[in-house]
Structure 1
Amino acid sequence: MGRSRLFDETEVVRSARQVFWELGYEATAVPDLEAATGLNRSSIYHHFDSKRGLFDAAVESYLDDMIRPRLAPLLLAEVAPSALDTYLQGLRRALVDEPTALSQNGCLLLNATGSALGHEAGLQAVISRYLADLRAAVDAGVAAARPELEAAERELRVTTCTGLVFAAMAIVRVDREAAGGMIDAARAAVRAGAGAGPATAAQLRS
């Protein structure tokens, strides 16, 4: 018979996630995970197979706790016209205005692409799905906010907004203000009318 699980897996994975997030996958050692989770090496390997298995669980935890709830209002059957701007404003607060793990450490997934894991098909597939979900959410948000746009114009704004969100999450741990500027630019790209200049950052934050 297998050994019974005597710990809260959700909390263990969240504790491990914070270590991976702060140190990076390659710099995180098993003793770091033991200290954070309260599990010994044998328990970690028994329940998660490996350090990589625990990291994979941490990634899913990151998506479930940090990413999917933000995107959920943009993936409803009926999306509010303000949903995309609300999402972008909330992301800006998390990146720039509040001392969150995201503002301090950047995106857990995008950070991992700079490690040896970035060459692995498994992580690449997770990031591709994340990008597809983000793009679908932004597309729905642009369609709700700007129903008058022609297909080509809508596609351009979706691509611009999605790219700026990704860029902001990648750069935030190096330059928080630059990340905020990218989110402002994403909001402006959605709002701008044909032939009109984008709104200023100050107008967007008002």
Structure 2
Amino acid sequence: MVRPKSYDRQKAVENACLAFWEHGFQALGVRELEQQTGINQFAIRSEFGGKEGLLLEALNYYRDAAITNEMAPMWDGGIPEIITFLRGLVTPGSMTSSQFGCLMVNTGVENARLKSPALGEATRGYWTELESHFTRALENELRAQGGKVRFSPAELAAALVSAVMGVHVQNRTQKDQTAGRALVDLMCNRLAELRASS
């Protein structure tokens, strides 16, 4: 007879996301993970394939939420939607602003030492997704301006991704979700200038 689950899987993944986001992978012990997620070691192994499997599910949850709630407006938008996304990185209360930085950045940095192929694929996939949304919005902007603005969507999108990573690192190292505001202001002002030059 199959034993019924004594926990809400979705809630456990959400709690794991927050725990890994704050503490990282290696520093978060299994006992502490049990306390913060409400699931025991056996369930972590049997349901998620272990601690790394739980982190992967948390990364997927984080990615899906970011795409649906924060990136999606850029797909059919332009520079104003990119600016809104960037401002959100340093706006208290925004889903993408945290004193812990970004779960994807944190995991990517930690994985430089861990060298987990699965974690590497998950983090690279996230940044590829963000870059594709930036590229799409910039291409939309070029079309809307009738080609009067001169810039490379692909090159600018790649630069924006690097800048976003830097904002998150600054927020985390200073434990202040607004710490990266100067860089955000610089990016947003440059984007606004590009749009005004059309």
Common fold by TM > 0.5: yes
1:6–1:84 distance in 2 versus 1, CA, 3 Å: same
RMSD over equivalenced CA pairs, Å: 2.6
Name the structure, 1 or 2, with higher relative contact order (CA <8 Å, separation 6+).
2
The question of 1:108 aligning with 2:103 is answered yes
Question: Once the 2 structures are TM-superposed, how far is the Cα of residue 134 of structure 1 from its aligned partner?
Answer: 1.1
The question of 1:188 aligning with 2:189 is answered yes
Contact 2:13 2:57 in 1 (8 A): yes
Q: What is the aligned-residue identity percentage? A: 23
Distance in 2, matches of 1:101 and 1:129, equals: 17
1:73–1:100 distance in 2 versus 1, CA, 3 Å: closer
Q: What TM-score do you get using the length of structure 1 for normalisation?
A: 0.78
Contact 1:73 1:83 in 2 (8 A): yes
> What is the CA deviation profile of residues 77-118 of structure 1, one whole-angstrom value per residue up to 9, with x for unaligned ones?
x3256322222222331xxx4487842111111112232465
Question: Once the 2 structures are TM-superposed, how far is the Cα of residue 21 of structure 1 from its aligned partner?
Answer: 1.4
Question: Once the 2 structures are TM-superposed, how far is the Cα of residue 25 of structure 1 from its aligned partner?
Answer: 0.4
* Equivalent residue runs for 1:13-92 within 5 Å: 13-75=13-75, 78-79=76-77, 82-92=80-90
- Paired residue secondary structure (1:5): coil
Distance in 2, matches of 1:158 and 1:40, equals: 42
Distance in 2, matches of 1:159 and 1:192, equals: 19
1:39–1:155 distance in 2 versus 1, CA, 3 Å: closer
- Structure 1: gaps of 5 or more residues: 197-206
- Structure 2: gaps of 5 or more residues: none
Distance in 2, matches of 1:192 and 1:156, equals: 17
- Paired residue secondary structure (2:25): coil
1:51–1:156 distance in 2 versus 1, CA, 3 Å: closer
- Higher mean alpha-carbon deviation, 98-107 vs 165-174, is at 98-107
